[in-house]
Homo-oligomer: A and B are copies of this chain.
Amino acid sequence: MQKVNVAKKILSANEEYAFKNILILTEHKTLCLNMISSPGSGKTTILTRTINELKDQIKIGVIEGDIQTDIDAEKIRATKAPVVQINTDGACHLSAAQVNKALKNLPISELDLIFIENVGNLVCPSAFELGEAGKIVVLSVAEGDDKPAKYPVIFAKSKVLLINKIDLLNAEALVDFDIERVEADARKLNKGIEIFPISAKTGEGITNWYNWLIKSVKKSSV
């Protein structure tokens, strides 16, 4: 009797769609970044600020992944950027097939950059390639500085680590968070990772992130 490896089969179907997405994105020279974090680390706030402040330089679209509700998509819509909502109906991550469908509902040929905002989850989305050019992991300082050690996969796989909510570190040391520990732990897992401490709320440090984005968009457009 032949054994069927179900987990592997599902992954392969996902990879097939991921490959289709890569082809579509490459054809249009559109950079695609998959943003992953725990719930509440600030992905949507980072995106709305980035879209608003770079709108004269980069044309950005968003694929918004949520288990249910379109709370985040509404916030993106307010920036006037094109956005497609995916509701996973309970699933803990986006799949490449869902992204494939969403891509068909975005004006890709007009876009320099597509952000995929994944479901809030530091574990599962890291196992599913969506066809993106890179993953962006977001960690809020309120989550603690042991997270790269405890959830290593996503830190090992990401191009960029955004350490968000650094405004909480300034006033009265309300949050204990050792940025150097996080940077060292992340670089142990991933030598090439770019790390930008930012506050999407106050704008502190965010220019470094913008510069990286502008440079990366230029690279993928040639």
Contact A40 B144 (CB under 8 A): yes
A114 to B147, CA, bound (A): 25
Is A38 interfacial (CB 8 A cutoff)?
A: yes
Size band of the interface chain A makes with B: 35 or more
With A142-B165, A167-B174, A174-B167 already in contact, the answer to whether A149 and B38 are too (CB < 8 A) is no
Number of copies: 2
The interface of chain A, by Cβ under 8 A from chain B, is: 6, 38-41, 66-69, 71-72, 90, 92, 119-124, 140, 142-144, 146-147, 149-153, 165, 167-168, 171-172, 174-175
A-B CB proximity, top 9 nearest? A40-B143, A142-B142, A92-B123, A38-B38, A40-B144, A38-B39, A92-B124, A39-B122, A71-B146
Report the nearest B residue to A122, measured CB to CB.
Answer: B39
Contact B171 A140 (CB under 8 A): no
Contact A67 B150 (CB under 8 A): yes
